[in-house]
Amino acid sequence: MHIPNNIVNQMADKAAAELLMQGAARGDRAHIAQTIKRALLQEMNVENELMVEVDKILRAHMTTVRAEGADVGKLRGQILAKLAKEKGVVLR
């Protein structure tokens, strides 16, 4: 999933402000926000890498998928769920 950079920045800034306000974090707000942003981007990258792997698997078997008349969207979801489970990734 692609989330625009300005939205990621807003999410990180809001989370940093909330953590500071609740006393759950101490320090420089900008540094905390940057750390949160980095974590968010890493998580989004994991999902993107899974989707690339799913598409690679589908391409490798597309002749069979089409010959059997399988629902590509449903199959994509099933492969994604299986890969995520194997890799310990929680999808929303």
- What pLDDT is stored for residue 3 in this prediction? 85
- Does the structure show a pLDDT above 80 at 69? yes
Name residues whose C-beta falls within 8 Å of residue 75's C-beta, 6 or more positions apart in sequence: 58, 65
Local confidence band at 73 (pLDDT 50, 70, 90 cut-offs): very high
Q: How confident is the model at residue 59 (pLDDT cuts 50, 70, 90)?
A: very high
Contacts of 84 (CB under 8 A, 6+ apart): 50, 90, 91
The pLDDT, as a whole number, for residue 47 is 86
* 3-state DSSP assignment of residue 4: coil
What is the pLDDT confidence band of residue 72, given thresholds at 50, 70 and 90? very high
Average pLDDT over residues 62-72: 92
